[in-house]
Each structure stands twice: as C-alpha cells, then as structure tokens.
Structure 1
Amino acid sequence: MEEIDNKWEMYFPLFINFIASIGSFFITLMVIPGLKSTFLKANLFGIDMNKKIGNKIPEAMGVVSGCIFITTLFMFIPVPFKNYLTENENFPHHEFVELLAALLSICCMLLLGFADDVLDLRWRHKLLLPTIASLPLLMVYYVNFNSTLIIVPKPLRSWFGFSINLSLFYYIYMGMLAVFCTNAINIYAGINGLEVGQSIVIAISIMIFNIIELNGVLHKAHQFSLYFIIPYIATSLALFKYNRYPSQVFVGDTFCYLSGMTFAVVGIIGHFSKTTLLFFIPQIINFLYSVPQLFHFVPCPRHRLPKFNKENEKLDPSTVVFKKTELNFIGRFIMSIFRNLKIVNWQEDNEGIVTCNNLTLINFVLIKIGATKESNLTMILIFVQILSSITAFFIRYPLASVFYDV
C-alpha cells in the first residue's frame, strides 16, 4: 500500500504537468500569430537573408513561448506540494526553494535575452549575463547539497583514488555550464528552424533520460527535471511550427538564452550536469570549430550565415576574405591543423589573399554535401542532433560501465 502511495505521489504531479503542458502548447499556437503585427509595429523584426524576397519577419518571438512556459510553471508550483500545505512541520522547504531558484534563474535569462534582442548587447555581456543569472541556482545548490565530489574513472583510480573533491572548481564548472548552454545554441543558428529544432531534440533526450532514471536513487531530482522539461517541449513545439522553413517568426536570442538556462537548471539541480553536456555534442563541435573566429585568431564577420544563391535557391558555404599576414602565430597554427585535417575550404592566391569558409558546423556540412536547400539543410542538422543523442545514450549507459561502477 505504501508503494502505491509513493507511486501516486510521484506520477500525479507529472500527470498534471503533462495536462498543463498540452494547454500551453495550444495557447502558444494561438498567441504567436496574433502578436506578429505587434512586434513589427515595435520594430522588432529581422530580414530573412536566405530568401529571394527579404520580407520583414517578427524577431524575438521566443519571448512569447518563454512567457507561456514560465506562466505554466508558476501555476504548477502548488501541485507538487499539495500534500504538505496543511502540514507545515513536514513541508519540504529545500525542494520549494530549489523550484523557486530555478524559476528565478530562467526568468532572469528570459529578461536578459529579450534585452539583448532589443539592445543588441556586446559579446562580453553575453558571457557575463548567464553567469549572474545562475548565481541563485548555485547558492541553493550550495545550501542544500554542496556535493562537489566526482567519481574517478577506473583506469585512473590507482593515481587519484576513487573520488576527488573539486570544491570551488565544481561551482566554477556549473557556472560555466550555464554560460556554455546559453551561448552554444546561440552561435549554432542562422537557418530557419535550427535553434528550436536542436533545442527540442536536446529537451526530448533529457526527458527520456529522466524517465529512465525515474525509479532510481535520485528519482526526486529527475522528477523535478521533468516538471521543467515537459512544458518546455510543449511550448517549443508550438514555436517550431512558426519558425520552421519558411519562417513566419524568428526566435531571437531570447529563446536561445531561455533554452540554455533551462537545460543548465535541470542538469545542475537534477545532478546530471555531465550527462546534459553529452546531449550537446554538435554544439560542442560547433564551438570548437568556431574558436579561431570567436577569439579573433581569424577574421570574423558580423554574420556567418550560409550564402544564399538566388539562381538555384540553395545555400552555399559563406566565406571570409583576408590577407594571410593578418593572422598571428596562433591563427596560423590552428588553420594549418584545420587544413591538414581537410575541414576547411582554404583558397590562397599569389598575393597572399585567403578565401576561407566561415567556421561553423553549418558551413562545414555545406562543404561536405554541396549546395543544399535551406529546408533540407535544417533537417540534416536536426538528424545529426538526433544521432548525437543516440551516441550520448550509448556513452552514458553501455560505455560508462567500462569506466565506472554502474
């Protein structure tokens, strides 16, 4: 009987969360079309550069799905604690504070992301803001858990022992996780539907992982994660309907920041931050590939979007042109490695003028498969994201047993 009560206590809030998420899906579907004209009047729009006719597209519409997502969670707050409302002595204050801190961090990023879309903040601000927004979450983690131990892989235990206490460095890692998740989605973008598509795949992967672990030792943490991920998937699916090719709305940095912070929140509070990173394999590859331009070892234009060919309506890799003498030692060294690995399209004339593709995973795929229609390119990249998630599950389960006692 006690087991049945525990199951009911676990699944009832998830059932209510699922029903509320269905409602948020349909609300998002209805609200977005009605607000398109409002955003255009406020001059919040972008030009779709990958179309023959560059129409004005409402920008920063991620704030709409984000607000509905947050509202759904606000209304859901009492549900997990309904059994404790009349029993103040046994009320799980630590869980309540976790939920509020997580919501606070996500709300901060929703606000800061919209501010970025409106004010066009500089990159140094984009790195600083997620760090600040993650502080409430890290403080709650410190007060409630303060667990900074990591298990050492089996082959290294003879040197380092079974575990290592990272102390302050673990908190630095979690803060950097929030920065990476928000910006990794932001720089892996530029074609219709990619930002939302990749985020949905990551969210569904996290949801599947949580469901698998729901009956494990940390079932409470994974239950907590599902409270956030299910309504996020619902509102994002509705947004994807309007953002997929041909886009009727652009999601803006608002959605990228909201998504990244949501993934960081569930990873940190759910105690699976390392597993969360496994679902970011394409984003990690894109970041590493982009490093020379992001840190200006190689000239970096403002936009690194694929180049639209109006004749065949296909996308080609975009390029950057510079003098080879502009590269410093680090730039020359990195690009020589990339050239030897044949992962860049490098053309150099007799006068030392270099034409090189912009260093993004999107352009790299175009180099390998050739000119492609935008809709097809988006589907290819989302398929790559799905394959990466399958690889992540293989690493997390069968392969992990080789290195850890699982």
Structure 2
Amino acid sequence: MNILLSAVGYWLTCKLISLCGEMFVRANLFGVDLCKGTGVKIPESQGVLCGVVFLVIMFLFIPIPFIEYFTNRGTFTFPFHVYVEFLAALLSICCMVFLGFADDVFDLKWRHKLLLPTIASLPLLMVYLVTFDLTIIIIPAPFRSLLGYSINIGCLYYIYMGMLAVFCTNAINIVAGINGIEVGQSLVISASVIVFNCIEMSGEYSEAHLFSLYFMLPFFAVSLALYQYNKYPARVFVGDTFCYFSGMAFAVVAILGHFSKTMLLFFIPQVINFLYSVPQLFRFVPCPRHRLPKFNPKLNKLELSYSRFKPTELTKLGRIILKIASIFKLVHFRKVTVKDCEYEECNNLTIINFFLLIFGPTHEKTLTNRILLFQIVCSVIALFIRYPLARLFYDV
C-alpha cells in the first residue's frame, strides 16, 4: 500500500507542478536562473507542492500499519508508541514545510534558519525520550580496555540529535544553486537510506527500519517527480521549502529509526562542504550573500565565483587559513587591482566551487552530474564503513 501511494504521489506531484507554475509566478514567487542569464521567470518554492503531497500520502497511510489491530480488537495490544512516533514525525515535517515556505516568502536570516529546525525537532526528542530513551554509545574495541564497553552520555545524546536535525536541514540548503543539485542529493541520500533499511529488516530493530521505509519511499517518489522539473534545464526552482522538508524527513527517520550516527555517513559530501565552508560561515573570511558559481555566456559554462574584500577586512585567522589552503591547492587566493584600489579575492568556499577549482570551467549539467556521482560514491563508502569496517572495530 505504501508503494502504491508513493506511485500516486509521484503522479500527483508531477501534475501539480505542471498546473501551478503560472500561479506561483503571478503571486511573485519566481526566480531568475543566474547561471544562464536568460532572464526568464521560473516558478519558485515548488518544494511546497512536493511537501504537501507527501503529507497527504502519509495522512492517508496512517491507518494501514495498524489494520491488524483494528480487525482483531482484543487479540492484540495497540502499539501506541508506534502511533505516537508516527504523529510526532508528521508534526515535525509539517512544521518544517510551513516554516520553509515562510522563509521563501519572507527571506529569513541565517540565525532563524538555525533556530527553526531546533524548535521543530522538539516533538521528536520528546517522543524518543518517552518511548526509547537509549543514550548509550558503544566504545570501539581498541579503546574498551580504557573506557569500558559502553558509556551513557545522557542529555548530550539529545543535544546531538537536535544538532543533527539542524545540520540535515541546512546541509541540503548550503549545497545549492545549480539545476537539480538540491533534489538530486536528496534522492541519493533517500535511496541510500532505503537500501540500508532493507538490509537491516532482519536485524534487532526491524520495526524501526520498517517505520523509516514508510517515510522514505513516499519521500523518494515525490522528490523524483520534482527532480524531473528541476534538473537541467530547470523549469522550476525548489526553494528553501524543499531543503527544510527533506532535511527534517531525514532527521525524523534517523532519530526515530535509531540510526542517527549511520545517517551522518550518508551526508559525507555535506559534511565536507560544511568543513570547507567554515571560514566563510564563521566570518573568518568575508562571505557574500550568494556564493553561486559565475556563468560565462561565451563558453556556456560555469566558472569559479570569488569573494572580493579589502586586505583589512580579512581576519588574521582567515589569512592563515587561506595561505595554508592555497599551499595545498584547496583555494584560489589572489590579489587584484580595481580602479587603482588593492583588493584580495578567494573563491567562494563551497563544494560546487571546489569542483570547478579541480576541473575548471564546466557545463552546469556536467557539474551537477559529477557532484551527484560523488554523492553516490560516498554512499557506497558509507555502507562499507557501516558494515565491514564496523565489524572490525565493534566485533559484530
């Protein structure tokens, strides 16, 4: 039934996107593709349609896992803990779809982008507390002689899970700006989670992984429909709504599916992007409002975009970081003269620009495909870490 509803969700999402595009443009919810320079108005915030269809599917699906208990009343005890987890998960996702759409309309500041997922994750953490409340971490075998077999870290584990929700929602948002990249990376991550859930279905937490599949299959279906319209050349933009929606969907299944640490393994490219972006995110290096690649109309390719600043605007720590990174060819740091004024420039610190630094000017479609291929390779590495490598360190 879940697969059937997911197929319906794919079809319905495609229909809604094709029918509602002009409606969004008339409501001034549109954007211009800065990586093409055509000036055509493209419907924005289409992630809200994707999120709404997903929620409708999941609302319709709510009774299905519990039919056995409805038809055999008195024989089975109703699994209230699963029901509560289901509703809390939908509440958090619904909250992020709403807040993401508010961000698209009002263009919220970064401090709000960090606060909103934290608030939306509170229902998840409360449900985890009353239903599972496992805060023990297993120590790798080489360190057990010093630290023991396990450690109960208590409230620190809840802080970690709250930070995971913030990271997931913003990690998708940071790797953005070229056609298909936000939805594409979400498709790869969700497909990786589905594979992982299927592998674990015969394990100790099979019920939790089945719960995850209930959410990931419809998510994959509606995201695939959105990708058909957002891939190069994009006919719609996904907006921050989709980034918030997808990030919270991943956080939900990671927390309530009890594989929050494994989920981070599927975010390896996003973790790399975050670490690479730290100097700009924390303002050690001046950070512009947008860090999109630069479009070269003569070559019809994307090139490195730069952050330009006066030498006095660069902090001492930022200068040290850029000099070390330049030595290892991780950034392009240079001095320029504009109208007799001395400036310094470094390429914007995103994984998209890093790929351009490595491969040079690249067509937008090729660039997206390379990053998504890297995402797939990282998912394969994540599964290798989770199984052969984990068995080596944890004796399982």
**TM-score, normalising length: structure 1:** 0.95
Q: How does 1:125-144 map to 2 (within 5 A)?
A: 125-144=112-131
* CA–CA distance in structure 1, aligned partners of residues 42 and 28 of structure 2: 10
2:24 is aligned to: 39
Q: Secondary structure at the match of 2:121?
A: helix
Q: What is the Cα-based RMSD across aligned positions, in Å? A: 1.2
| 1:40-59 mapped onto 2 (5 Å cutoff) | 40-59=25-44
Write out the 4+ residue segments of structure 1 that deviate beyond 3 Å after TM superposition: 349-352
Secondary structure at 2:151 match in 1: strand
Residue 380 of structure 2 corresponds to 390
Q: CA deviation at 1:352?
A: 5.8
Check conservation: 2:45, 2:238, Cα contact below 8 A: yes
| C-alpha distance in 2 between matches for 1:158 and 1:357 | 46
Task: Report the AA paired with residue 164 of structure 1.
Answer: I
- Which residue is equivalent to 1:189? 176
Question: Could you report, residue by residue, the CA deviation over 1:295-324 in whole angstroms, capped at 9, with x for unpaired residues?
Answer: 111111111000000111100010111122
Given candidates 158, 165, 183, the residue that maps to 1:171 is 158
Q: Does 1:346 align with 2:336?
A: no
Task: Supply the distance in 2 between the matched residues of 1:371 and 1:28 (Cα, whole angstroms).
Answer: 34
1:215-266 superposed Cα distances (whole Å, 9 cap, x missing partner)? 1110000000000000000000000000000100000000000000000100
Give yes or no for the alignment of 1:200 onto 2:187: yes
Distance in 2, Cα, partners of 1:113 & 1:321: 30
Instruction: Mark the CA change 1:386 to 1:325 in structure 2 (over 3 Å): closer, same or farther.
Output: same
3-state SS of the aligned residue for 1:90?
A: coil
Contact kept, 8 Å, 2:54 with 2:219, in 1: the verdict is: yes
Do residues 97 (structure 1) and 89 (structure 2) align? no
1:372 maps to a residue whose letter is T
C-alpha distance in structure 1 between counterparts of 2:154 and 2:372, whole Å = 37
5+ residue gaps, structure 2, are none
Q: Which residue of structure 2 aligns with residue 296 of structure 1?
A: 283
Residue 311 (structure 2) aligns with? 324
1:362 aligns with 352
Report how far residue 369 of structure 1 moved: 0.4
Which amino acid in the other structure matches residue 72 of structure 1? I
- Equivalenced residues, count: 391
For 1:20, the equivalent position in structure 2 comes to: 5
Distance 1:378 1:180 in 2: 22
Q: State the AA in 1 paired with 2:65.
A: P
Q: Residue 87 of structure 1 is aligned with which of 73, 84, 87?
A: 73
Offset, 1:325? 2.5
How far the C-alpha of 1:402 sits from its partner, in A, is 1.6
- The answer on whether the counterparts of 1:148 and 1:170 sit within 8 Å (CA) in structure 2 is yes
Do residues 219 (structure 1) and 206 (structure 2) align? yes
Could you say which residue in structure 2 is the equivalent of 1:112?
Answer: 99
Does the aligned pair in 2 maintain the 1:52–1:313 contact within 8 Å?
no
The corresponding residue for 1:29 is 14
Using the size of structure 2 for normalisation, the TM-score is 0.97
Alpha-carbon distance, 1:167 to partner:
0.3
Q: Does the Cα contact within 8 Å between 2:322 and 2:333 map onto a contact in 1?
A: no
Inter-partner Cα distance in structure 1 for 2:113 and 2:394: 36
Shift of residue 353 of structure 1? 2.4
Distance 1:201 1:346 in 2: 33
Task: State the SS of the aligned residue for 1:348.
Answer: strand
Q: Distance in 2 between matches of 1:347 and 1:197?
A: 33
Q: Distance in 1 between matches of 2:233 and 2:354?
A: 22
User: What is the deviation of 1:342?
Assistant: 1.4
Instruction: Choose which of 38, 49, 52 in structure 2 pairs with 1:64.
Output: 49
Q: Describe the SS at the equivalent of 1:355.
A: strand
Structure 2 residue matching 1:253: 3-state secondary structure: helix
Pick which of 110-119 and 152-161 moved more: 152-161
Answer yes or no: is the 8 Å Cα contact 2:212–2:257 preserved in 1.
yes
Tell me the distance in 2 between the aligned counterparts of 1:115 and 1:349.
40
- Please state how far the C-alpha of 1:95 moved relative to its aligned partner: 0.6
Pair 352,340 (structure 1): closer, same or farther in 2 beyond 3 Å: farther
> Alpha-carbon deviations, 1:129-177, whole Å to 9, x = none?
0000000000000000110000011111112111011101000000000
Letter in 2 for 1:212: I
Cα distance in 1 for residues equivalent to 2:345 and 2:5: 52
Question: What is the Cα deviation at residue 336 of structure 1?
Answer: 2.5
Cross-structure match for 2:251: 264
Counterpart position of 2:301: 314
Q: 1:306 to 1:92 in 2, by over 3 A?
A: same
Residue 220 (structure 2) aligns with: 233
Moved more, 83-92 or 177-186: 83-92
